[in-house]
Amino acid sequence: MSRNFASTAPALAANTFARPQSAPMYSSTGLDVWTMMNQVAASVDAVNLGQGFMSFPPKDFIKRAAQEAFTEDANNQYAPPRGRPRLLEQLAARFAEKLGRPIDPGSEVSVHAGANEALLSAFTAFLEHGKGQEAILIEPAFDQYTPNVLMAGGKPVYVPLRVCASKDPATNTISSSDWKLDYTELEAAITANTRILVLNTPHNPVGKVFARDELEAIATIAQRHNLLVISDEVYEHLTYATDHVSIATLPGMWERTITVGSAGKLFGVTGWRVGWAIGPAELIHPTLSAHTRIVFTTNTPLQEGVASAFVQATSNGFFDSQRVEYERRRDRLMAIFDDVGLPYVVPDGAYYLLVNAAAIKIPDTYEFPDFIKERGPNFKLVYFFIKEFGVSGIPPTEFYSAEHKALANDYIRFAFCKTDEGLEDASKRLQKLKLYLQSSS
C-alpha cells in the first residue's frame, strides 16, 4: 500500500532550521580588487593596464611546447606530487647556476600549482594553528600573502617600505631604490612568536630590486632571530640595468631560505599555473608534504610544456630578448606619464609602474558608487581614473594593512606587460588628464 508522505508530514515553516554559516574569513560578499576594477574598466571599454596579465600572446615555441606535451598519452595522467622528473631536472640546473651551488632535483625542488600555491604550502608547513606564530610581511605586500598566512594558522605582522625623507614623490619622479626598509623597525616587529619573513624581490608593485647590502642586513636579522625566509622571486628574470641577487646566495642563508618562482611570469603564461619552490631538503620536504595535502599534484602536460620551454629558452636567447622588450614597454609608459605631467616610481624590476596622482583634482561633486566609497580614497582615485580617462589601474592600498594604507593613497599601479597598441591607446586617452591637474587653471 502506497503512502502519501507529503500529506502526512507536518507543515514546516520556511525558516524552521538554522542556515549553514561560513567561516568569518570567507563570509564577505565583497568583490576582490581585481574583479572589481576589471568590471569598472569593462563598463567604459577602458584600456586595461590594471591586472598583471599579458595582453600579447606567448612566443610560438612556448605554445608549441604545451601543444606537443598534450599529444603524449602519459602526460594526461597524474604527475608525481614533487613534479615531473624532466621539469625538476631543468629547475635544478637553472638554480644551480643562479645560486652557485649544486641542486638535487630529487630533494631540493618541488613543483606547485603556481607560485601562490608554493607560498601557501610553505606557510602551511612552517606555521601551526593555535600557536600565535607570526610571519612578517614587507609592505606593500602582494594581496595573497595575508590570506595565505591566515589560512595556515599564522598571524601576519606588517613592516612597510618607506620613501626616503629627502624625496617628494608627489612632485618628482623617484627611483624604486628610494623605497627603503627601516631595519630598526623590522627588528622591533620580531617577537618570540615570529617564524617567517617574506621577501619579494623584484618587488610588486614598487619595482624595487633589493641590493646586496640590503639583503645582507635582512639576512643578519633573519639569522639572529632564527627566521625562515620565504623569498618570492617570480620576477627574477625582469630587471633593468640592475642585477637581481637571491638572498639564498648569501652566507648562511641557503639553509633558511625557500625561493619561490613562476613559469607564468617567466614565460608569459599566467594561466598555466606552474610554479616551484627551491631550498634545502629540510625545508622542501615539509613544503612538499603540505602541497600533497593541498592539491596533491600539479597538472602534468603543462609541467612538460614548461620543461621543454626551458630547454629551448637556454639556446634561443628568449630571456635576454624578453628583458629588452619589457624595458622598452616600461620606458614607453614612463614617457606617457612624463607627457601628461604625473610623477612615478622608476621600476628596476618586474612590470609595474607606480604613478603618483596626488596632483589630480577630483571635482567635489563627483559621484561614486557605494562599493567604491566604502573602500576609501585610493579606490575613489582609481575609479575616477578609469571612468574619466578610460585607462584602468589597481589601487595599491590593497597591498597594505589598515595601519599603513595611507602610505599609498596617492598612487595607482599600472602594468606594462601590454601590447604596443594598448600603450598607444592609453597615451591618447590620458591627454584628458591634463585638464584635472591642480596646477592647471
Show pLDDT as tens, one digit a residue, over the chain (441 residues). Answer: 455 545 555 555 556 788 898 888 887 656 788 889 999 999 999 999 998 888 999 999 999 999 999 999 999 999 999 999 999 999 999 999 999 999 999 999 999 999 999 999 999 999 999 999 999 999 999 999 999 999 999 999 999 999 999 999 999 999 999 999 999 999 999 999 999 999 999 999 999 999 999 999 999 999 999 999 999 999 999 999 899 999 999 999 999 999 999 999 999 999 999 999 999 999 999 999 999 999 999 999 999 999 999 999 999 999 999 999 999 999 999 999 999 999 999 999 999 999 999 999 999 999 999 999 999 999 999 999 999 999 999 999 999 999 999 999 999 999 999 999 999 999 999 999 999 998 644
| Contact yes or no for 48/55 (Cβ under 8 A) | yes
pLDDT at position 260: 98
- Show the CA angle centred on residue 292, arms to residues 105 and 310, nearest 5°: 35
pLDDT at position 109: 98
How many helices (H) and strands (E) in the chain? Answer: 15, 14
* CA 396 – CA 352 distance, rounded (Å): 11
Other Cβ atoms less than 10 A from the Cβ of 419: the count is 14
Nearest to 194 by CA among 231, 221, 147, 227: 227
pLDDT at position 296: 97
The kind and range of the H/E element at 346 are strand 344-346
pLDDT at position 37: 92
| 134-139 and 155-163 beta bridge pairing | parallel
Cross-strand bridge partners of residue 356: 411
Sign of the C-alpha dihedral, residues 289, 260, 162, 252? positive
pLDDT at position 441: 41
Other Cβ atoms less than 10 A from the Cβ of 274: the count is 27
For 262, phi then psi, to 5°, come to: -150, 125
Q: Which three cell numbers stand for residue 173?
A: 619622479
The size of the chain, in residues, is 441
Sign of the C-alpha dihedral, residues 413, 266, 258, 246? negative
* CA 69 – CA 360 distance, rounded (Å): 50
* CA 305 – CA 299 distance, rounded (Å): 10
pLDDT at position 24: 83
Beta-carbon contacts of 55 under 8 Å, excluding residues fewer than 6 positions away, are: 48, 417, 418, 419, 422
Nearest to 280 by CA among 299, 252, 257: 257
Beta strands in 43-131 (DSSP E): 47-48, 109-112
Label residue 303 exposed, middle or buried (CB < 10 Å: 0-12, 13-18, 19+).
buried
Predicted model pTM: 0.93
pLDDT at position 133: 98
Nearest to 126 by CA among 261, 226, 251: 226
